[in-house]
Structure 1
């Protein structure tokens, strides 16, 4: 009985360590992005739109596309 409890505790510790490691590795970039200093509005030229990379693409560089009606054709 004691061996089963000890084995369960060991498995729990391994699972906890694995979860914490995964969280640290996967979400560290999101934490760094959230801690980035916010700057005021910046004037961007059209040449900067060509050089912009995600996630620092200015809003006016993004192409806006209007949605269309979806026409569904049902085959008999």
Structure 2
């Protein structure tokens, strides 16, 4: 009985280790590509673009800036 429990524990550890290695190999290139995004030249924003913008891709010019009251 104890041998079966120990064998099951070893199999679970091997499966967890394999899953972590698989995630690292598959998603390492995606993280690198996301980190290497370079800013392109600024694009003019029109009112139509502001109307169609959705979170989180709202251009800074579309956000309303207000001053705090004193």
TM-score by length of 2: 0.49
TM-score of the aligned structures, taking structure 1 as reference length: 0.46
